[in-house]
Amino acid sequence: MAKLGFFVVAEGISVDQATNRISLFNVIEEVYPPSFPASIPTVVAICLWNAEPGDEDQDFQLTLRITPPGQPPKEFHQNFRIPGRRCRTLSFVEGMQVAHPGELRLDADLNGKHQASHVIYVCKAETDDLPAAANS
């Protein structure tokens, strides 16, 4: 079965048409909404899958499970094949709703088996809680 090379969550992504290289914009570790409930405008979950022998004929299912703080999880499914040595999957989620502060968890499962997690800390936007870079 394919092996996960990386799992990253960001606000945006760009794929260079000539080289197929990716650029990630604003990897999301923490968010500071001005009030609650809040909406996170755009989230992109990026996975790199490395093929193993025999994977070329396989159909894989990625499940991206998003669990906002204190809310039930939502699942997004994506089928894919790996045409060569590796493949990227991109999952775009727009307008993610968050009712209150806490941990926003994103999990990536491949064919029903957990592969990786990414936690975003949703914090109150009080001046004392903001990181130094956000205060300037």
Q: Evaluate whether residue 134 is within a structural domain.
A: no
Tokens of 107: 């999990």
CA distance 6 to 30: 19
Percentages helix, strand, coil for the chain (3-state, rounded to 5) are 5, 60, 35
pLDDT confidence of residue 57: 83
Contact of 34 with 20, CB cutoff 8 Å? no
Provide the sign of the torsion angle of the four alpha carbons 82, 86, 88, 89, taken in this order.
positive
CA distance 84 to 116: 22
Domain harbouring 52, CATH code: 2.60.40.10
pLDDT confidence of residue 136: 38
| pTM for the full predicted model | 0.88
Q: Evaluate whether residue 56 is within a structural domain.
A: yes
Domain that holds residue 11: 3-129
The region that residue 5 occupies, defined by phi over 0 for left and psi between -120 and 50 for alpha, beta otherwise, is alpha
Q: Are strands 3-15 and 30-31 parallel, antiparallel or unpaired?
A: unpaired
Q: Evaluate whether residue 135 is within a structural domain.
A: no
Q: What are phi and psi of 12, to 5 degrees?
A: -160, 170
Give residues with Cβ within 8 angstroms of 94, minimum separation 6: 41, 42, 43
Q: Evaluate whether residue 41 is within a structural domain.
A: yes
**Could you list the pLDDT tens digit for every one of the 136 residues in the chain?**
999 999 999 999 999 999 999 999 999 999 999 999 999 999 999 999 999 999 988 999 999 999 999 999 999 999 999 999 999 999 999 999 999 999 999 999 999 999 999 999 999 987 555 555 554 3
Count of domains in the chain? Answer: 1
Structure-token match 């996170």, residue found: 40
